[in-house]
Amino acid sequence: MKQKMLKIIIVIVTALILILIAWYILFMYFDIGPAFPLIHTIAVEVYPSSGVVSESEPLMALAESEEMAKEIAGQYGIVFVSFQNGVATYDTDEDPEQVIARGEDNGYPTLYLNYQKSLYDSSMPQEEEQ
């Protein structure tokens, strides 16, 4: 009876260990599942000012095709620059925020500011190399 109970306990403990190892591997290497409870996490600060509007292509919109992207440019009176992977970029001499507001007032497809973001905040002083 004692040997049978010992075997059952060993099987249960082994199964739990294997489950924890699989959970750890899936979370850490494949980003699947909830966080492993013993993993140390850190908070990351996001600098909203780290995005700078592109000078050559300050506006962008989601479009299903290049023809649709060109139609959006015609509605707004802006210059179509490029279309790739469902995203169209545009150039304008006007203030981009005023163009976006005009489109919202007229019910045109939504335009967005085309931010170029950086992993690091470029306005913060960089450490000097020694």
Give CA separation, 47 vs 58, 102, 118, 125, in Å. 20, 28, 10, 14
Helix, strand, or coil here: 10?
helix
pTM of the model: 0.51
Could you give the residue ranges of the DSSP H alpha helices within 31-84? 66-76
- Please answer whether residues 99 and 112 qualify as being in contact, where contact means their C-beta atoms are separated by less than 8 angstroms: no
According to the per-residue pLDDT averaged within each range, which of 19-33, 42-56, 98-112 is highest?
98-112
pLDDT in tens, 37-96: 665 666 655 555 556 666 777 899 999 999 999 999 999 999 999 999 999 999 999 888
